[in-house]
Structure 1
Amino acid sequence: MSEPFTFATLQVEADDRGIVCCTFNRPEVRNALNLEMVQEVRRLLEQLAARDEVRALIFTGAGGQAFVSGADIAELRERGRAEALQRINNSLFREIEQFPVPTIAAVRGWALGGGCELAMACDLRVAGESARFGQPEVRLGIIPGAGATYRLPRLVGMGRARELIFTGRIIDASEALAIGLVNYVVPDDEVLAKARALAEAIAEGSPLAVRFAKMALNAAAEMSTDAALTLETIMQAVLFEDEEKYRRMSAFLERRRARKS
């Protein structure tokens, strides 16, 4: 997979299995999310969505001290009502959530405010032992405005979400795992390896089936039960006549016959 990616705030690597790793690269400010980074991530998503060979997208932070420490406060302080209504970060995280293939946040160090919201917009989260998560916005006179009031309750339950948002309390990796905010906690030096292992496992599946599964899971959170089940049925009908399904099931049956012989 070629790598024609050139960005000022991101480092992007892609391998021949279709696994892309995007590193937020502003370590001098703990990878704070500024407008330039938002625009570059959006451009990257647009480029990758057009590539059928992409199987998974990993996000991580440079420098080891932070995934994304939050929105750039210097920029945020100057934003007014008009900028809030533009949904600058909110709309980007929605794009990440709806990205066609699974996304994985590989988190070391700080993931606060917008950084935590970005991680929650990903499908899976791998945390290093140094990871710290929180929504401290109320301490700055604002609310979590980029999806935390929507996604955090769905991950950890309404009661815990209320506590974390109302108090702005920062939690460590072990607590994040216990309440369901992250999928795995590993030593810091194993975070990317674990994220890549997950991405490789995803890449083993049928590309169309994985994309449909993500689409169905996203829709299930926002549709009625009947509508979600109807969508699932339609997707399954398409997959039942997909050549990939015949190839994979035939290979499975051949392996089973070989084991019996």
Structure 2
Amino acid sequence: MAYEFEKIKATQDGAVLVATIDSPPANALGQGVLRDLSALLDQAQADEAVRVIVLCGQGPKLFSAGADISEFAGLQAGVVPKYNGNEIFSRIETFPKVVIAAMQGAAFGGGLELCLCCHLRVMSEKAICGLPEVKLGFMPGWGGTQRLPRLIGKTKAMELILTGDFISANQALALGLVCALAPAEETVAHAVKLAQKLAAGAPLAQREIIKAIHNGLQTTVADGVKNVEGAGVATLLGSQDFKEGAKAFLEKRKAQFVGR
């Protein structure tokens, strides 16, 4: 399947799709980028050959500086832009295929919010990130106030959002905001290597794990175990992949998962 967009450059390597935000000079998340991101998700979800998406930014300095401030003048109270970051980011959070943010450069505002909705995050050792909206008399509006506390805890998230301060890669790792750090020039490659490892896994099980963790965080542990996790287990018990996984284990060979 051909992946051709104006503001996102996409290349496919086997089961891994690398999508690069290419909107100089700051990789701002304007309507064009959001439009292309939405279209990319549509295609990737329908493409059985794609199992993992790696999302990064063009250039070494910025993953994304956030929303396109030049578009702010046209915003009106109560009017939602055609391509809504909230809707697209929520779709990424529940996307049935793993999405990894490769933060090869700094991520600010909406750029960090885009990373927060991805399932995993790999960050350059030289990068920084933060939600500085309060310094513009505004607040995070694409899920930052909801996802950051769930990832790093209420107190630290409150501090970072209220002050608008930035944090280093080492701080992000210590807080559990990212799962790994990599040398700046190797960040995307590190994320792709992780993606390849996941792409060799069981896509149906990965889909149910993503769903169980996301939905489980919205309820009690007891309800999550019984109903959310239980539903995923029930789905997988009858799957071809589960039968193949068990058979491969007994035969001491690598399982060949097909996502069914």
- Please confirm whether the aligned pair reaches a TM-score higher than 0.5, indicating the same fold: yes
Q: Deviations over 1:26-57 (max 9, x none)?
A: 1x321011011111101111111112332111
After TM superposition, the score normalised by the length of structure 1 is 0.91
In the alignment, the residues of structure 1 paired with residue 119 and residue 130 of structure 2 have an alpha-carbon distance, to the nearest angstrom, of 18
SS of residue matched to 1:100:
coil
Percent identical residues:
37
Aligned-pair distance for 1:76?
2.1
Say whether residues 1:139 and 2:132 are aligned partners. Answer: no
Contact 2:35 2:83 in 1 (8 A): no
**What corresponds to 2:8 in structure 1?**
10
SS of residue matched to 2:150:
helix
SS of residue matched to 2:29:
coil
Aligned-pair distance for 1:86?
7.3
Aligned-pair distance for 1:14?
1.3
Say whether residues 1:214 and 2:230 are aligned partners. Answer: no
Q: Deviations over 1:6-37 (max 9, x none)?
A: 11100011122x211110001x3210110111
SS of residue matched to 2:11:
strand
Say whether residues 1:250 and 2:247 are aligned partners. Answer: yes
Q: Deviations over 1:115-170 (max 9, x none)?
A: 00000000100000121110000111110111011000011110000110000001
Which of 221, 231, 238 does residue 241 from structure 1 map onto? 238
- Larger helix fraction of residues: 1
Aligned-pair distance for 1:96?
1.1
In the alignment, the residues of structure 2 paired with residue 166 and residue 78 of structure 1 have an alpha-carbon distance, to the nearest angstrom, of 26
Residues 166-177 of structure 1: matches in 2 within 5 Å? Answer: 166-177=162-173
Q: Deviations over 1:103-124 (max 9, x none)?
A: 1000122200000000000010
Aligned-pair distance for 1:180?
1.2
SS of residue matched to 2:141:
coil
In the alignment, the residues of structure 2 paired with residue 103 and residue 184 of structure 1 have an alpha-carbon distance, to the nearest angstrom, of 15
Contact 2:34 2:83 in 1 (8 A): no
**What corresponds to 2:195 in structure 1?**
199
Contact 1:156 1:179 in 2 (8 A): yes
Name stretches of at least 5 consecutive residues in structure 2 with no aligned partner.
254-260
**What corresponds to 1:149 in structure 2?**
145
Say whether residues 1:64 and 2:60 are aligned partners. Answer: yes
After TM superposition, the score normalised by the length of structure 2 is 0.92
Which of 123, 126, 129 does residue 127 from structure 1 map onto? 123
Amino acid at match of 1:244: D
In the alignment, the residues of structure 2 paired with residue 252 and residue 153 of structure 1 have an alpha-carbon distance, to the nearest angstrom, of 39
In the alignment, the residues of structure 1 paired with residue 34 and residue 173 of structure 2 have an alpha-carbon distance, to the nearest angstrom, of 28
The alignment's C-alpha RMSD in Å is 1.7
**What corresponds to 2:84 in structure 1?**
88
SS of residue matched to 1:81:
coil
Which of 145, 150, 158 does residue 154 from structure 2 map onto? 158
**What corresponds to 2:114 in structure 1?**
118
Matched positions, count: 252
In the alignment, the residues of structure 1 paired with residue 125 and residue 78 of structure 2 have an alpha-carbon distance, to the nearest angstrom, of 39
Range with greater deviation from structure 2 (117-126 or 191-200): 191-200
